């Protein structure tokens, strides 16, 4: 076969199509072909994520994990229970506070009915929980106490009313005596004034005047005592009326104070119990689950998982090797292959590089260094997917980024040029 130099020049200067770089993992290099249509492929595994709006679910109080209902990638609904903490202590605290609160609330309702002489009205929040045997027992006990005390109060009220009437009658008698003394005092004063006039003229002895003056003073003293008795009688009558009301009002204030104190504590305990069920705030997908062991312990404030809203835009996070970063920049295209589906069912999906991290990132566990590139699939490409194929956060994909075109000659002489450049710098 005759050697043709022109054929060699044509071959080595022909452009090789764009090199396809991976996003993460060990690269698999295809052998370079003399066929100009051959491509270099470096497939790696990448992950589908979201741009923003992740809902990070944290443990408020921490505790022992009793159930884990989801795993990474699971679709969840709003308010769905994803993870459950042990609720023994929280439930016991709620039970204790509920019992105290319900007891004092029913006492307050009963005492209010007693003070207003009305029927017993059960508070709405307690009545709603009447099917609970514990609550039903509290209602029954206070109802029995109310009926018993109402009969006792009615009997006591009758006695007090009788005493009030007695005091009223006595006050009437005292007032009559006081009025009689007033009349006597008027007459005695007139008689005394007459004898004083006679005594001044020498017609009446001084002893008589003095005796009359003493009688007037005694009458005035008796009148003062009667008026004091009348005032005391009025006070006793008022006290009799207030005695029962005061006792009920004092007990009512005490019960209402206890209810006001227990209310916030009970609400806080119920909230702590509700927090033992970790629920999804939105419809979406679970990502970054950090707890996998039943019986494990989560610290207060520890992140448990992320929930990605279903309507959040999907992005592909690709890890680029430092040796390939000079060939990757925003605007480049790539092919995405979903590992969850057969390549026969789902073709490669076109994507575009949106951002490339400015600095290298180190993985503390694997000790790998990489640059992070984010790629996005256009909505029109997603609409082309076969029926039943869905993309979800956490799915794994093979990404091939199409880099700039290079000639076969550049692949051959590139390493030689780099060595020569380095040697010249050293000199």
DSSP secondary structure string for all residues of 197-215: HHHHHTSS-HHHHHHHHHH
Q: Of 386, 303, 375, 278, nearest to 23 (Cα)?
A: 375
pLDDT of 413 > 80? The answer is no
Considering the domain boundaries, does residue 181 fall inside one?
yes
Considering the domain boundaries, does residue 417 fall inside one?
no
Say whether both 27 and 63 belong to one domain.
no
Say whether both 37 and 108 belong to one domain.
no
> Which range among 238-242, 247-251, 311-315, 394-398 shows the weakest confidence by mean pLDDT?
238-242
Query: What is the tally of structural domains in the chain?
Result: 3
Say whether both 214 and 358 belong to one domain.
no
Domain of 290? 53-85+276-310
Considering the domain boundaries, does residue 281 fall inside one?
yes
Considering the domain boundaries, does residue 426 fall inside one?
no
Q: Give residue 255's pLDDT.
A: 82
CB 49 within 8 A of CB 317: yes
Rounded mean pLDDT of the chain? 75
Considering the domain boundaries, does residue 420 fall inside one?
no
pLDDT of 354 > 80? The answer is yes
- CA separation, residue 290 to residues 115, 312, 412 (Å): 58, 22, 48
pLDDT, tens digit, 9 for 90 and up, residues 318-349: 888 888 888 888 988 888 888 878 777 788 88
Say whether both 257 and 394 belong to one domain.
no
Considering the domain boundaries, does residue 302 fall inside one?
yes
Say whether both 322 and 399 belong to one domain.
yes
Say whether both 101 and 244 belong to one domain.
yes
Say whether both 286 and 268 belong to one domain.
no
**Mean pLDDT value of segment 386-396:** 74
Say whether both 241 and 204 belong to one domain.
yes
In this structure, how many other beta carbons lie within 10 angstroms of the beta carbon of residue 109? 21
Say whether both 304 and 381 belong to one domain.
no
Say whether both 162 and 305 belong to one domain.
no
Please count the CA atoms within 13 angstroms of the CA of 68 that sit on its side-chain side.
19
pLDDT of 393 > 80? The answer is no
pLDDT, tens digit, 9 for 90 and up, residues 1-47: 554 544 434 444 444 444 455 554 333 222 333 333 334 444 444 55
Considering the domain boundaries, does residue 103 fall inside one?
yes
Whole-structure pTM value = 0.51
Say whether both 127 and 204 belong to one domain.
yes
């Amino acid at each position: 076969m005759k050697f043709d130099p022109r054929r060699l020049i044509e071959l080595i200067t022909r452009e090789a199509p764009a090199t396809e770089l991976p996003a993460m993992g060990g690269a698999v290099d295809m052998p370079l072909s003399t066929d100009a249509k051959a491509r270099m492929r470096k497939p790696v595994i990448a992950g589908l994520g979201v741009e923003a709006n992740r809902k990070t679910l944290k443990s408020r109080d921490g505790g022992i994990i009793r159930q884990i209902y989801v795993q990474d990638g699971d679709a969840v609904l709003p308010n769905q229970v994803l993870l459950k903490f042990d609720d023994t202590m929280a439930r016991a605290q709620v039970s204790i506070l509920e019992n105290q609160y319900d007891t004092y609330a029913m006492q307050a309702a009963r005492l209010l009915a007693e003070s207003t002489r009305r029927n017993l009205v059960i508070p709405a929040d307690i009545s709603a929980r009447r099917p609970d045997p514990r609550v039903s027992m509290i209602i029954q006990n206070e109802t029995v106490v109310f009926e018993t005390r109402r009969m006792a109060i009615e009997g006591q009220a009758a006695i007090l009313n009788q005493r009030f009437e007695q005091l009223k009658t006595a006050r009437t008698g005292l007032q009559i005596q006081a009025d009689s003394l007033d009349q006597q005092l008027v007459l005695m004063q007139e008689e005394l004034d007459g004898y004083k006039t006679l005594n001044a003229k020498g017609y009446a002895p001084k002893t008589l005047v003095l005796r009359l003056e003493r009688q007037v003073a005694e009458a005035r003293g008796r009148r003062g005592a009667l008026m004091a008795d009348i005032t005391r009688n009025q006070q006793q009558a008022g006290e009799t009326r207030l005695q029962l009301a005061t006792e009920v009002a004092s007990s009512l204030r005490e019960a209402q104070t206890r209810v006001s104190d227990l209310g916030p504590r009970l609400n806080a305990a119920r909230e702590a119990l509700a927090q033992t069920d970790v629920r999804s705030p939105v419809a979406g997908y679970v990502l970054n689950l950090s707890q996998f062991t039943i019986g494990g312990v989560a610290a207060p404030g520890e992140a448990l998982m992320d929930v990605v809203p279903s309507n959040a835009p999907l992005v592909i996070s690709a890890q680029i090797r430092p040796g390939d970063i000079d060939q990757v920049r925003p605007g480049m295209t790539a092919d995405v292959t979903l590992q969850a589906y057969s390549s026969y069912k789902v073709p490669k999906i076109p994507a575009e590089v949106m951002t490339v991290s400015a600095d290298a990132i180190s993985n503390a566990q694997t000790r790998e260094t990489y640059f992070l590139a984010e790629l996005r699939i256009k909505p029109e490409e997603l609409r082309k997917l076969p029926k039943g194929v869905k993309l979800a956060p956490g799915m794994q994909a093979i990404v091939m980024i199409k880099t700039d075109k290079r000639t076969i000659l550049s692949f051959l002489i590139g390493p030689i040029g780099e060595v020569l450049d380095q040697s010249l710098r050293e000199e």
